Structure 1
Amino acid sequence: MKNYTAITLIAGSLFSGCLMAQESLVLNGHNLTVTDAWAVASQGKHVRIDPAAMERMKKSNQLLMLAAEQGVPVYGLTVGVGLNKDKSLFDAHGKLSPEVMEASKAFNRNALRAHGAGVGPDMPVDMVRLAMVIRLNTMLTGATGAQPYVAELYEKFLNQGITPVVPSRGSVGEADITLASHIGDAMMGEWRVIVNDKVIPAAEALNKAGITPLDPIGKDALSILSTNAISTAYSAKAIMNAQQIIDITPLVFAMSLEGLNGNISPVLPQNIAVRPFPGLADSAKDIRDTLSGSYLWEKNDTRPLQDPLSFRTTVFALNEAKRDLANAQQMLSIQMNSSDDNPAVILDASQEYADNSQVKQYYVQGKDIKGAIYPSANFEPLPLALAVEHLSLSLAHLSHNSVQRTLHLSDDHFTGLSRFLTAKDNAGHAFGAIQKPQVALHSEIVDLANPVSLDGQVMAGTIEDTFTNNLYASQRLQHIVDNIAVIYGLELLHSTQAIDLRKEIVPQLAQSKQTQALYQTYRKVVPFVDQDRIYTDDIKHSAEIVAGYRGQK
């Protein structure tokens, strides 16, 4: 079983406004990991823009403005956005006059203002910072066309602890335009920000930090607001936390199998080889390794030939969750390290299909620069949204099996132990009532696992007729993860109790090295239930152990 770092699923932001003094993370548009991004978001790690990436931004901005000079129609620059794509903002005619430049600035300012239309509670500081470092990185691919100062502002905001106030709801998942725009509004000094845990006017924060407000022009506004960075941040946090749940699953399962006196036969390699689904052999090996040294490998005349399905089939549920996690991580990495801009500003674009007049019109040629500006659908995050939904569904299966395993551990018919795992001298309820929160949380998960990527309405004069709801899907995934931490915690409460009751019968009962380590960690926090007590704190501490346990081989 892997070692895993502690990830607090239920704690708030770790960022307190005091930025940590440590080596800066260098961003170049292509190398951002979730771990690094989270260090910036939650621990105040500084960022530094790679000079080569900044040069790409400079050149792509030059290419964009050259296109405007040459009268090339550019979405969001020389023509409007959405239904207004056929509306000219100004007529360049080969010259960017002061009047034309001012018209562009006015359009940019109004675009950032008009798209600031979020709802719901404000995002936590760490989540806004996570979104900002993701957007800064994707901007550094050089495909946005924004002026370099926009990237510099992201860098300054992150490093100086200036966090725009951003609502947490209101995105349909085709770029988070009504949410991300608040970041641009703050950069202009027209909104609110959080500094050292206090909400202050953005203009005041910029003035105190000595930062010149953004005077957006060209494609600056569109580059700031037309991004999936907000929803991607929620995807990243949820996927990161889902890994902790999946990594600890073999151990939680192994503890319950020991508590049940269960049969290891379903995970034997001979059995698994009969149906060689991708990854299944490795998942079964994870469980076998976790149980290495356990008494379950020794014949026991009281052990049933067949355990309940929730025990026998967990290896399949675990394997599918692992596969969905790997796919989600791959989609997330691509989303975090590539441009989701429309139009796409491509320096030195290939000449593929350029012999067709429809394609040729997108090319721009200058004295020292060339490329193309393509209308695109790169804002579409469907690959990530579907990966998030698939992961949600597979985690729901893990939740189901956990709840059923826990219910069976309370049943003396299956364990041969006392009903509801009642201690010898306890004349009370024991675990008779605490099944209910587990079942209730799983009922929530069943609902949360339903797909939402198809829910929506046609908007913007019917031109915007698709949606992914990736923000909502990702928030639902995080809710699922939080619930499973509690569900697994309740399972541990039962399995450790069952193991202790078995040790009363067989004092030398051998656990595996890994289950023994978790058992000892758990018992330091949650003691054996010898008499009825209030379980609320036990449940809370159990969930915290699931969320933060560091395994050992």
Structure 2
Amino acid sequence: MNNPTAASISPRYVSPAPAAIPRAGKPGAPVALSGNNFTLDQIATIAVDGTDATIDESAWPRISEGRAVVEAIVAEGRPAYGITTGVGSQKESSVQQTDLATFNRRLLAAHATRVPGPTLDPAVVRAAMAVQLNLFATGTSGVRRELVERLMKRLNENRVPTVDASGSVGASDLVPLAQLGLGLLEDAPDSVFEPGAKEALSLMNSNAISLGMGSLCLVSARRLLATLDLAAAVALEGLRGNLGSIAEPVNRVHGRRGQHASSSRLRSLLRDSALWYGGESRFLQDPLSFRCVSQIHGVGHEVLARAEQVWEVELNAPTDNPLIDRENGAVISHGNMDSTALTAAIDPLRQILAKICELSGERLHKQHWPAFSGLPTGLAREAGAIGGVQFLNLSHIAASLIASSKIWATPVLLNSVGQLADGVEDTAGLAMHAVADLARVIEAAYKIATIELTVGVWAIHRRDIDPGKLGHGVRPVFEALLPLLPIDREGEETFSLSPLIDFVVNGDLVETAYDAAGIDPRTWKAI
């Protein structure tokens, strides 16, 4: 199994960033960006695996044509927002041709104001750079070929600027992108690059940070849902649950696609479990947190699928303002940079993940509650004994994480940012906030899932169940985690969940379990 890496485990991050970004291993073939077919998986392989990005040959003529429009406007002295004028509340102020280079550099430096605090993980910055390259490939930004090549060179050499994890309200990621853009211009050992007309605005007037970070979060969320389904399967074995709730006839009569996907996974993970046979289930009808797993987890699958659809549209949509209309040789001011669509897709995903976390908490709690488990309190060695998972406060830790996930799941879209830039910017989508909170929810959810897996394995051990009678997907989880647990040694020394969390987050355990269940990891993608 692969060892955990800093890029794939969220606790290593110094700022809110995606958890458990799946790694393909070695960098693959270069990804050719054309501006119209960029995918979430391609961003992940560039940002995390270090795969090179190139510009598709079909894009270079568009880039040149777009630049020709900008240069014609400058030569004619036509008023054009951000090209021959100021920006924001200073849009009526003219910029002389002789001052364009100075104006563009000052524009970046002025917007790149630094504030002490967390900085973005380099993987997120690389993802943003890839998004920018794809945007420039559309030819609607009007930047020079030299700038595109410089950005591509920095990305492929993994020389990324330090960027603050704050400063965006979702009407373009202005502040962090200005820091990124300024770093690209000044990055040693290359010579200083002087930005031309509109290039400063093109570098900072998009949602590349939000889109890049969000892309990695969505790829991570696929594995997270697979992990949460696995945790539920282990919990069903630990409680000796009734598998009638995930039986095919139950799902066949309902048209929920997500429910079908989740229940199908659970049936595969629990294939050949003794629970499918009479006399094994403890209750005729389990608590709802066990009985409604496929229904509620299924909503997560559906919401993730919707978010992915929105994201891949936005990844290939020109968002920097103004738009270069190559066909008519014109410049058009617009509002494509508005990030409401992104936030409206991410808010529900955070909410359903928090709901699934709540469900996980209920299941792990009931496994060490004698009235439900039929075992000694807290899964202790025997009735009246001191110890077990309760002695380790695992339920308290899970409850705290669940509370945090619910706080971070609070809808972002309806928050007001007031009026900025002298009233010009009077609404914003707050996408970067929505994505940063999604990253926090994902990180918490992985920890909660790890605790549920821990409690489930502990309960299976207390029941002295033959591993051969467990579901095929549960067996490797039991065998891998059991040696890591301080069973009957609780309190002898401080127990750390870190090794278990690392094991779960880096994907090795989950992939092994799904492989044993005969499930192709490619099916983790949204339905």
TM-score, normalised to structure 2's length?
0.87
1:220 to 191, 199, 203: 199
Letter in 1 for 2:79: P
Note the 1:300-315 alignment, pairs <5 A: 300=279, 303-315=282-294
Note the 1:252-291 alignment, pairs <5 A: 252-291=231-270
Note the 1:125-274 alignment, pairs <5 A: 125-189=122-186, 202=187, 205=188, 208=189, 211-274=190-253
> What is the CA-CA distance between 1:409 and the residue it aligns to?
0.3
Note the 1:54-93 alignment, pairs <5 A: 54-70=60-76, 72-90=78-96
Tell me, in whole angstroms, the C-alpha distance in 2 between the residues paired with 1:384 and 1:535: 46
* SS in structure 1 at match of 2:219: helix
Query: 1:457 matched to which residue of 2?
Result: 418
> CA distance change for structure 1 residues 481 and 110 in 2, over 3 Å: closer, same or farther?
same
Tell me, in whole angstroms, the C-alpha distance in 2 between the residues paired with 1:545 and 1:425: 32
> What is the CA-CA distance between 1:388 and the residue it aligns to?
1.5
> What is the CA-CA distance between 1:171 and the residue it aligns to?
0.9
Tell me, in whole angstroms, the C-alpha distance in 2 between the residues paired with 1:536 and 1:381: 45
2:56 to 50, 54, 64: 50
> How big is each residue's C-alpha offset from its partner over 1:33-58, in whole Å with a ceiling of 9 and x where there is no partner?
33332333334333222232122111
> What is the CA-CA distance between 1:79 and the residue it aligns to?
2.4
Q: Is the 8 A contact 1:187 1:213 kept in 2?
A: no
Tell me, in whole angstroms, the C-alpha distance in 2 between the residues paired with 1:319 and 1:454: 26
Q: Is the 8 A contact 2:128 2:212 kept in 1?
A: yes
Letter in 2 for 1:514: G
Query: 1:523 matched to which residue of 2?
Result: 482
1:539 to 497, 503, 523: 497
> CA distance change for structure 1 residues 134 and 537 in 2, over 3 Å: closer, same or farther?
farther
> What is the CA-CA distance between 1:81 and the residue it aligns to?
1.4
> How big is each residue's C-alpha offset from its partner over 1:466-496, in whole Å with a ceiling of 9 and x where there is no partner?
1122112111111111111111111111101
- Does residue 514 in structure 1 map to residue 520 in structure 2? no
Tell me, in whole angstroms, the C-alpha distance in 2 between the residues paired with 1:46 and 1:330: 25
Q: Which one has a larger percent strand, Structure 1 or Structure 2? A: 1
Tell me, in whole angstroms, the C-alpha distance in 2 between the residues paired with 1:375 and 1:399: 43
Q: Is the 8 A contact 2:343 2:429 kept in 1?
A: yes
Query: 2:366 matched to which residue of 1?
Result: 408
Tell me, in whole angstroms, the C-alpha distance in 1 between the residues paired with 2:412 and 2:432: 10
Q: Is the 8 A contact 2:467 2:475 kept in 1?
A: no
> What is the CA-CA distance between 1:399 and the residue it aligns to?
0.2
Q: Is the 8 A contact 2:43 2:215 kept in 1?
A: no
CA-atom RMSD, angstroms? 2.6
* SS in structure 2 at match of 1:482: helix
> What is the CA-CA distance between 1:340 and the residue it aligns to?
1.0
* SS in structure 2 at match of 1:179: helix
* SS in structure 2 at match of 1:373: strand
2:404 to 419, 426, 444: 444
> CA distance change for structure 1 residues 269 and 72 in 2, over 3 Å: closer, same or farther?
farther
Tell me, in whole angstroms, the C-alpha distance in 2 between the residues paired with 1:21 and 1:319: 33
Letter in 2 for 1:510: K
- Does residue 9 in structure 1 map to residue 25 in structure 2? no
* SS in structure 1 at match of 2:463: helix
> What is the CA-CA distance between 1:129 and the residue it aligns to?
1.8
Tell me, in whole angstroms, the C-alpha distance in 1 between the residues paired with 2:467 and 2:267: 21
Tell me, in whole angstroms, the C-alpha distance in 1 between the residues paired with 2:236 and 2:482: 18
* SS in structure 2 at match of 1:461: coil
Tell me, in whole angstroms, the C-alpha distance in 2 between the residues paired with 1:115 and 1:130: 21
Query: 2:119 matched to which residue of 1?
Result: 122
> What is the CA-CA distance between 1:240 and the residue it aligns to?
1.9
> CA distance change for structure 1 residues 459 and 23 in 2, over 3 Å: closer, same or farther?
same
Moved over 6 A (4+): none
Paired residues, what number? 494
Tell me, in whole angstroms, the C-alpha distance in 1 between the residues paired with 2:32 and 2:41: 14
> Which structure has the bigger radius of gyration?
1
> CA distance change for structure 1 residues 427 and 116 in 2, over 3 Å: closer, same or farther?
same
> How big is each residue's C-alpha offset from its partner over 1:172-226, in whole Å with a ceiling of 9 and x where there is no partner?
111111111112222332xxxxxxxxxxxx3xx1xx3xx3322112110100011
> What is the CA-CA distance between 1:9 and the residue it aligns to?
3.5
> What is the CA-CA distance between 1:272 and the residue it aligns to?
2.9
Q: Is the 8 A contact 2:258 2:297 kept in 1?
A: no
> What is the CA-CA distance between 1:390 and the residue it aligns to?
1.2
Question: Structure 1 vs Structure 2: percent identity of aligned residues?
Answer: 27
Q: Is the 8 A contact 1:486 1:543 kept in 2?
A: yes
* SS in structure 1 at match of 2:11: coil
> How big is each residue's C-alpha offset from its partner over 1:105-156, in whole Å with a ceiling of 9 and x where there is no partner?
2221221111112422222222222211221121111111111211111012
* SS in structure 2 at match of 1:163: coil
> CA distance change for structure 1 residues 7 and 243 in 2, over 3 Å: closer, same or farther?
farther
Which stretch of the first structure deviates more once superposed, 263-272 or 431-440? 263-272
> How big is each residue's C-alpha offset from its partner over 1:243-278, in whole Å with a ceiling of 9 and x where there is no partner?
111012222111101111111122223333444334
Note the 1:311-330 alignment, pairs <5 A: 311-330=290-309
> What is the CA-CA distance between 1:80 and the residue it aligns to?
2.1
Letter in 1 for 2:422: G
Tell me, in whole angstroms, the C-alpha distance in 2 between the residues paired with 1:76 and 1:403: 52
> How big is each residue's C-alpha offset from its partner over 1:485-519, in whole Å with a ceiling of 9 and x where there is no partner?
1111111111011111222xx54771111111222
* SS in structure 2 at match of 1:86: coil
> CA distance change for structure 1 residues 388 and 21 in 2, over 3 Å: closer, same or farther?
closer
TM-score, normalised to structure 1's length?
0.83
Tell me, in whole angstroms, the C-alpha distance in 2 between the residues paired with 1:218 and 1:263: 67
Note the 1:20-39 alignment, pairs <5 A: 23-39=29-45
> How big is each residue's C-alpha offset from its partner over 1:347-396, in whole Å with a ceiling of 9 and x where there is no partner?
33xxxxxxxxxxxxxx43xxxxxxx4221111112212221111111100
Q: Is the 8 A contact 1:425 1:531 kept in 2?
A: no
> How big is each residue's C-alpha offset from its partner over 1:66-111, in whole Å with a ceiling of 9 and x where there is no partner?
2344454321112221122233334xxxxxxxxx2x2222221221
> CA distance change for structure 1 residues 139 and 436 in 2, over 3 Å: closer, same or farther?
same
Q: Is the 8 A contact 2:343 2:412 kept in 1?
A: no
> CA distance change for structure 1 residues 342 and 534 in 2, over 3 Å: closer, same or farther?
farther
Q: Is the 8 A contact 1:7 1:244 kept in 2?
A: no
Letter in 1 for 2:93: K
Letter in 2 for 1:132: M
Q: Is the 8 A contact 1:259 1:409 kept in 2?
A: yes
* SS in structure 2 at match of 1:431: helix
Q: Is the 8 A contact 2:238 2:456 kept in 1?
A: yes
Gap regions ≥5 residues in structure 1: 91-99, 190-201, 349-362, 365-371
